[in-house]
Amino acid sequence: MAAVAASGGLAGGVPSQAEVVVVGGGVIGTSITYHLAKRGVDVVLLEQGSLTAGTTWHAAGLMATFGSLSETSTELRKYSKHLYADVLEAETGLATGFDPVGFVELATAPDRVEEYRRVAAFNRKCGIDVQEISAADVAELFPLCAVDDVYAGFYVPTDGRVNPTDVTMALAKGARLAGATIHEGVAVDHVAVVGRRVTGVVTADGSHIACDKVVNATGMWARQFGAAAGVNIPNQAAEHYYLITDDLPELDRKCPVIEDPENYCYIRPEGEGLMIGLFEGEAAAWAVDGIPRDFTFGEIEPDWERMTPYLERAMARVPASLNVGVKKFFCGPESFTPDLAPLVGPAPELDGYWVAAGLNSIGIITGGGLGHLVAEWMTEGYSSYDVTGINVDRLHPYQATPAYRAARVVESLGLVYKTHYPTRPSSSARGVKRSPLHAALADRGACFRDVSGWEGADWYAPQDGSKWTGELSPEPLTWGRHHWFANWAAEHHACRNGVVAMDMSFMSKFRVQGRDAGAQLNRLSTANVDGAPGEITYTQWLNDRGKLEADLTVTKVTDDDFMVVATDTMHRHVLGWMHKMFEPEAHAIVTDVTGGLAQINVQGPDSRALMTDLTGCDFSNVAFPFRAVREMPIGFALATVARITYLGELGYELYVPAEHAMHVYEQLVEVGARHGLVHAGLKALSSLRMEKGYRDYGHDMDNTDSLLEVGLGFTADLNKSDGFIGRDELLAQKAIKGMPPRRLLQILVDDPEPMMYHGEVVYRNGKVVGDIRAASYGHTLGGAVGLSMIEADEPINLRYINDAEWEVDIAGIRYPAQASSRPLYDPKNERIKAED
């Protein structure tokens, strides 16, 4: 242990204790330190080299608020721009280099125009002044820019560029002024841990700093630093390029930043020349085995041969750049995540360990806002932002394996500038998880997509005996109706009118056992999940603010044996929530059984007849009512069968041990042939559940929502003797008379042609009131249908809903629509009740 200095700190001025230690002095680490200090937190930042080391120092410094269909990302961008433009210099006297020269996104293909019109409408709803301009307008703003192939530009006049080093130094000075301590040249060797809790950090010279929380903001080193503490952070560095030209005398340095995604580049003035940056379609992983610790301000030898074709296309956007020399061709590392979203939040593996890494080249753009988000989350215990899509607990340990990272980072970086079709599946690192039925479904003509690492059957080749001449592929991609639209519709209608089988083995499944299992689950659950054995209960989990944390089912098998089933994307969050919220003295053991149990759903009005034939058991309403769970024989195997639906029809979920799954499936198919059984994929799952208005946490519900706002107040049992977490907040919300002014509604477009996906803006009487959080196509309802959180300045009751004209903006065109607080399909649940 290093000697303690007279001031109460360690030798060299490093304090011996703090509330929070932030590791990493790039823009993210300094922003978190700044925002924590402004909240009065005793925070220490340690940087192994100098501030900006790693990737911040060579960042391009773009400051663009346009471009995202994520409200969280958009708000982080807006906050960052305001901080850089209006706050930091006034506080610190240090300029950030913010220059509002404007930002133009070029659309040089029809599908790109469609994408940006969708994004522009959403961004305007978020308060961003996005203007669609012509090719001539682009040429006027940037006279050296070739515009012959430009369909449109999307222009934000107040966006522009900043100096990444200046931003970081201003944040650091602001943090010091607020009381933070920052030390450069101090490397952290490891995080000190007792049990499952952080107790401090140990520096490379052996000094120990006691703390309650540590933040891993080490950028491209985050995976390695996290792994040393047993924390999963699967980001991976890749080569990232930009070129700086010699001087261009005719260049106006106040020209806007240009992004030209079709040519994989961005272009902006740099000095008296141009910076031409690249996000090539086929990237290259770097240092998969590990980032050298001393690579703080290092450069990578450029691969001229691989990059020359990309450079030629990019430089052709400004032809004058081809006539001057190259001042610098730079290659440096940037880190990317498997799904191109940041990794932020408390690590599920270790209490007190926080992560803020994996920014996917938008660290400067979102850095100010991310610091605000993390500081709020750490000090308040919650985030006012939707963090379901960026929470570090969404990703899995296998995604940190070298082979996975090496394969996926090539695709991740390559997708940055490709058209962001919402139906584009991942193509790399596939086949990681396969249900026991995978090969059989492939033989049936399944087209698979990545579902949280699982191979999920998305749709099937025709099952009516007709010859399928197409490929089992999502290509070609489009914003309209795909070539598999008819296949999808047939599966949808088969569920509504007959019976389908659907493999949902990817669902997250946990066994909770022990004498206190029921009491602990009941304490977390809004519904009473500890009733009679043999029942499945739909419920939510809330935090102490009454906001949502999970949406799931709990099956009571016996008095001390329960099964929890949640959506695939919330796997580690649900597991982590149980570890965090179960009382320490309770005897309740949680086991992840996801891979050990196949889940086969048999759904549709003919499912009762099929299941009766399959098992020989009584499936009448009296013998097997809704929510009942029974163990029963299927062939030579035993399956747990629950009568429940996520599709809006009479139906059953079969939970089968993996080793018996193929046998049960074969029996199901053989008997199903007599009942017209059709295989249905995840496209049908989406459209069927959306017609019924069924919710999906992490997509159309998130951590900013309350139970009443999402229309699930009926799940709460307020009379449970021991209550549940969030009950008091829910009671306070219910005490307010009338409907809430914020409410999740179902939205149906009247015109049968347009497609909705996510982010489409909703209007009521010509006023923006929300956007579509998730959507599909309602083959029964006859149009695109989605769920939107509507926000009003009055109660959202039946009068508000019915006495109004509703519209949805889809790619710049407003379409008449309907809004409803009740399911548009089978609002009285008559299909689910399905009388004998």
User: Coil, helix or strand for 223?
Assistant: helix
pLDDT at residue 201 tops 90: yes
How does the average pLDDT of the chain come out, rounded?
96
Residue 200: which pLDDT band, with cuts at 50, 70 and 90?
Answer: very high
List, for residues 552-567, the tens digit of each pLDDT value.
Answer: 999 999 999 999 999 9
List, for residues 470-507, the tens digit of each pLDDT value.
Answer: 789 989 999 999 999 999 999 999 999 999 999 999 99
Tokens for 329, please give them.
């061709």
What value does the mean pLDDT take over residues 22-44? 98
List, for residues 151-177, the tens digit of each pLDDT value.
Answer: 999 999 999 999 999 999 999 999 999
Identify the DSSP state of 477.
Answer: P
Give pLDDT, residue 464: 82
Alpha carbon 810 to its chain's center: 22
Whole-model pTM: value is 0.96
Rg of the chain, C-alpha, whole Å: 28
Residue 6: which pLDDT band, with cuts at 50, 70 and 90?
Answer: very low
Give pLDDT, residue 10: 61
Which residue, 694, 709, 729, 715, is CA-closest to 831? 694
Give pLDDT, residue 3: 30
The residue with tokens 């195997």 is 637
pLDDT at residue 83 tops 50: yes
User: Coil, helix or strand for 250?
Assistant: coil
The residue with tokens 């994996």 is 358
CA distances to 352, 375, 390, 408 from 343, rounded to whole Å, are 16, 15, 6, 16
Half-sphere CA count of 191, side-chain side, radius 13 A: 32
Give pLDDT, residue 645: 97
CA distances to 52, 180, 353, 367 from 48, rounded to whole Å, are 11, 17, 19, 20
Alpha-carbon distance 252 to 155, whole Å? 18
Alpha-carbon distance 79 to 38, whole Å? 16
List, for residues 233-292, the tens digit of each pLDDT value.
Answer: 999 999 999 999 999 999 999 999 999 999 999 999 999 999 999 999 999 999 999 999
List, for residues 327-386, the tens digit of each pLDDT value.
Answer: 999 999 999 999 999 999 999 999 999 999 999 999 999 999 999 999 999 999 999 999
The answer to whether 690 and 786 are in contact (CB under 8 A) is yes
List, for residues 294-319, the tens digit of each pLDDT value.
Answer: 999 999 999 999 999 999 999 999 99
pLDDT at residue 8 tops 50: no
List, for residues 643-661, the tens digit of each pLDDT value.
Answer: 999 999 999 999 999 999 9
pLDDT at residue 58 tops 90: yes
Give pLDDT, residue 835: 83
- Return the number of other C-beta atoms located less than 10 Å from residue 673's C-beta: 9
Give pLDDT, residue 119: 98
Per DSSP bridges, beta strands 103-107 and 257-260 are parallel
Give pLDDT, residue 9: 54
pLDDT at residue 182 tops 90: yes
Give pLDDT, residue 556: 98
Identify the DSSP state of 596.
Answer: G
pLDDT at residue 5 tops 60: no
- Report helix, strand and coil shares of the chain as percent, to nearest 5: 30, 30, 40
**SS3 assignment for 89-106:** HHHHCCCCCCECCCEEEE
Q: Which amino acid is at 809?
A: D
Give pLDDT, residue 463: 85
The answer to whether 406 and 289 are in contact (CB under 8 A) is no
Q: Which residues have a Cβ under 8 Å from the Cβ of 458 and sit 6 or more positions away?
A: 425, 446, 447, 448, 449, 474, 681, 682, 683
Q: What is the DSSP track for 633-694?
A: EETTEEEEEEE--SSSSSEEEEEEEGGGHHHHHHHHHHHHGGGT-EE--HHHHHHHHHHHT-
Tokens for 500, please give them.
């389908």
Tokens for 726, please give them.
């969030």
Alpha-carbon distance 630 to 633, whole Å? 10
Residue 13: which pLDDT band, with cuts at 50, 70 and 90?
Answer: confident
List, for residues 743-762, the tens digit of each pLDDT value.
Answer: 999 999 999 999 999 999 99
Domains of the chain by range and CATH? Answer: 15-56+165-234+339-394 (3.50.50.60), 508-592 (3.30.70.1400), 597-675 (3.30.1360.120)
What percentage of the chain exceeds 70 in pLDDT? Answer: 99
Give pLDDT, residue 41: 98
The answer to whether 458 and 682 are in contact (CB under 8 A) is yes
